[in-house]
Structure 1
Amino acid sequence: MGNVLLVDDDLNRLAQVRQLLDGKFDVEPAFNAWDGVGAALMYKPTLVLFNLASPIMTGPEALRLIRSEEVLQELPILGFTEPRDLELEEVSLKNGCTRILENLLDPSLPQLLQSCLSASESDSRA
C-alpha cells in the first residue's frame, strides 16, 4: 500500500479523498503548503496530491523547496486547483509538479495514482 501526502486546507475534500483511497493508500494530511514541504521531508510519501492554491505559501514556491531536496527530486507530485486556475497550474508544472489533475475526486483516482507510481518506478529503474 502506498503512502500519499495530501496537501489541502479543505477538510471536506480530505475526507472524500480518504474515502476514495481507503484500503488502497494511506493518506497523510498537510493543511497548507508550508506544512506540506515539511511533511514531504518527514514522511517520505510515495506520492503527493497538492492543492496548488494552498494557504501560507504558493504552490510553485513549495514545489521549488520540495525539489531542492535531493531525496524528493523524483517524488511524483500531482497538483490540482479547485476551481481550476490554469495559469497557476502552468507555473506549477514549470516548478516541479509532475502532473495536473483535472478532478481530484474522480472515482478512478486510485487507478490513476497506481499508474503514476508504476511509471515513476519504471523511470527510476531506467
Structure 2
Amino acid sequence: MKTVLVVDDSRFMRASLKNLLRKNGYEVVAEAENGEMAVEEYFKYKPDIVTMDITMPVMTGIEALRLIKAQDVQAKIVMVSSEAQKHYIKKAMISGAEYFIIKPFNEEVVMKILNRI
C-alpha cells in the first residue's frame, strides 16, 4: 500500500483528498496545512507520495517542494492547486514536481496520475 502526505491549507480539501485516497487503497500517513509543516512531516514519515498545494501560509508549496527535493531527490511530489497559471505550473515542474493537478480535480484523473507513480 502506497503512503501519502496530504498538504493543503484548506481543511475541506485535505479531507476530500484523504477520503479519495483511502477509498482507492492508499494510506494517508500524515497531513499538513502549510509548507513548513509539510517539510517536517515528509522527513518524519517519508511517504511514497506527497500531494502539495501551492498557495499556503508560512511557506508556499513551491518552497516546500524545493526544500524536500534538495534533501531527497527521490521524493515524489504532485502539486494539486487552483493556481493554474502557466508560470506556477512551470515553477513547480522545474522545481521537481512529478505532476500538476488543477483544482477542482476529477477523481479519475487524480487516481490515474497517482497510480503512475
| TM-score scaled by length of structure 1 | 0.80
Q: In the alignment, which residue of structure 2 is the partner of 1:15?
A: 15
Structure 2 counterpart of 1:90 = 90
| Offset at residue 83 of structure 1 (A) | 4.4
For 2:3, the equivalent position in structure 1 comes to 3
> Which ranges of structure 2 fall in alignment gaps of 5 or more residues?
none
Partner Cα separation in structure 2 for residue 58 and residue 16 of structure 1? 20
2:35–2:56 Cα contact (<8 Å) kept: yes
Q: Structure 1 residue 103: deviation in Å?
A: 4.0
Q: How does 1:50-69 map to 2 (within 5 A)?
A: 50-69=52-71
Question: How high is the sequence identity, in percent, across the aligned residues?
Answer: 26
Question: What is the aligned length?
Answer: 114
Larger-gyration structure (1/2): 1
TM-fit CA distance, 1:80: 2.3
> Could you tell me which residue of structure 2 aligns to residue 25 of structure 1?
26
Mark the runs of 5 or more structure 1 residues left unpaired by the alignment.
117-126
The 4+ residue runs of structure 1 with deviation greater than 3 A are: none
Q: Of 38, 41, 50, which residue of structure 2 is paired with 1:39? A: 41
For residues 22-51 of structure 1, the C-alpha deviation after alignment (integer angstroms, 9 at most, x for no partner) is 241112211100100111111100001000
Number of the residue aligned with 1:111: 112
In the alignment, which residue of structure 2 is the partner of 1:78? 78
Preserved contact between residue 7 and residue 54 of structure 1 (Cα < 8 Å): no
